[in-house]
């Protein structure tokens, strides 16, 4: 049995979306971010990323974690590549070359996009988007993101999807990493292909199912 430790308002959403796509049975063990509590180690506080019990699974103290028959995996994008390969089918790599491309794009998402897209989202979470400092930070992040986003836009000129001409775990992983940037309404305005592609990804039944559960989740 697959167990995911995390919650819908975290990078666990990536695995939870994929599990909806794959129709695999799983258990979600709720672990929340420690920064939601004043004293995350207080006895009455629920399982969180600083709880000693959780730290045994994730020495980094970060969600998501996958546990499956003694295998413990951290890193959301690696968890998703593992789940897709295990399940097989259209979302999984069809052969070694596709696997290599999927690994390439996962690293691309994590190293070229995620930090800056997340920082963009944090400007909005701090409600600083209309302040001079917030506007300057947004402009600087958009300028840094222009390089990987232009590369993706160019890729989509000749590809319907990121790998293999069909929706795969790679589209899902990239769409989830890019989602942070969407807090900024103009994020994808200069990239029409990327805009249409992410709209298609996010209109999938499994994404909507994950999103409904996220919206129903108490923070
Ligand atoms: N690179 C890791 C990052 C994991 C991560 O930072 N998770 C956040 C939630 S989205 C977390 O656990 N934050 C709580 C904490 O750091 O205490 C991954 O993709 O899984």
The predicted-structure confidence for 107-122, as pLDDT tens digits, reads as follows 999 999 999 999 999 9
* CATH number, domain containing residue 67: 3.40.30.10
Ligand 1: residue of 13, 63, 66 to mutate (most ligand atoms within 8 A of CB) is 63
Give the model's pLDDT for residue 78: 98
CA distances from 55 to 12, 48, 50 (A): 16, 9, 7
Q: Is the distance from the beta carbon of residue 179 to the nearest atom of ligand 1 less than 6 Å?
A: no
Q: Which of residues 87, 114, 129 is at a domain's end?
A: 87
Residue 218 within a domain: no
> With 90 as the cut, is the pLDDT of residue 8 above it?
yes
Domain co-membership, 156 together with 70: no
The predicted-structure confidence for 151-199, as pLDDT tens digits, reads as follows 999 999 999 999 999 999 999 999 999 999 999 999 999 999 999 999 9
Q: Which of residues 69, 87, 105 is at a domain's end?
A: 87
> With 90 as the cut, is the pLDDT of residue 58 above it?
yes
Say how far apart CA 177 and CA 214 lie, in whole Å. Answer: 16
| Full DSSP string of 105-168 | HHHHIIIIIHHHHHHHHHHHHTT-TTSHHHHHHHHHHHHHHHHHHHHHHHHHHH-SSSSTTS--
For residue 202, how far is its CA from the centre of ligand 1 (angstroms)? 22
* Average pLDDT of every residue of the chain: 97
Q: How many domains does the chain have?
A: 2
Q: Is the distance from the beta carbon of residue 13 to the nearest atom of ligand 1 less than 6 Å?
A: no
Q: Is the distance from the beta carbon of residue 49 to the nearest atom of ligand 1 less than 6 Å?
A: yes
> With 90 as the cut, is the pLDDT of residue 102 above it?
yes
Ligand 1: residue of 7, 11, 174 to mutate (most ligand atoms within 8 A of CB) is 11
Domain co-membership, 185 together with 139: yes
Nearest CA to ligand 1 atom 16: 62
Residue 214 within a domain: no
Instruction: Supply the range of the domain harboring residue 154.
Output: 96-207
Say how far apart CA 28 and CA 96 lie, in whole Å. Answer: 31
The fraction of the chain above a pLDDT of 90, given in percent, is 99
Q: Is the distance from the beta carbon of residue 10 to the nearest atom of ligand 1 less than 6 Å?
A: yes
> With 90 as the cut, is the pLDDT of residue 36 above it?
yes
The predicted-structure confidence for 135-158, as pLDDT tens digits, reads as follows 999 999 999 999 999 999 999 999
Residue 217 within a domain: no
Residue 219 within a domain: no
Domain co-membership, 115 together with 173: yes
* CATH number, domain containing residue 171: 1.20.1050.10
Q: Which of residues 87, 110, 144 is at a domain's end?
A: 87
Domain co-membership, 52 together with 104: no
When pLDDT is cut at 50, 70 and 90, the band that residue 219 belongs to is: confident
């Amino acid at each position: 049995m697959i167990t995911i430790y995390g919650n819908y308002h975290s990078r666990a959403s990536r695995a939870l979306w994929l599990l909806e796509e794959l129709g695999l049975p799983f258990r979600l063990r709720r672990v929340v971010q420690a920064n939601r509590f004043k004293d995350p180690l207080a006895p009455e506080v629920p399982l969180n990323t600083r709880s000693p019990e959780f730290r045994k699974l994730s020495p980094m103290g970060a969600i998501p974690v996958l546990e499956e028959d003694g295998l413990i995996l951290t890193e959301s994008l690696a968890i998703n590549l593992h789940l897709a390969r295990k399940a097989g089918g259209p979302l999984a790599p069809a052969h070694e070359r596709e696997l290599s491309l999927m690994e390439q794009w996962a690293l691309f998402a994590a190293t070229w996009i995620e930090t800056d897209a997340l920082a963009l989202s944090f400007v909005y979470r701090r409600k600083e988007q209309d302040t001079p400092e917030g506007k300057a930070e947004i402009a600087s992040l958009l300028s840094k993101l222009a390089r990987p986003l232009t590369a993706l836009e160019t890729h989509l000129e000749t590809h319907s999807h990121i790998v293999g001409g069909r929706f795969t775990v790679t589209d899902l992983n990239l769409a989830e990493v890019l989602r942070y940037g969407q807090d900024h309404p103009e994020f994808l305005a200069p990239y029409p292909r990327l805009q249409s592609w992410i709209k298609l990804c996010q209109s999938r039944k499994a994404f909507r199912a994950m999103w409904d559960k996220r919206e129903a989740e108490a923070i």
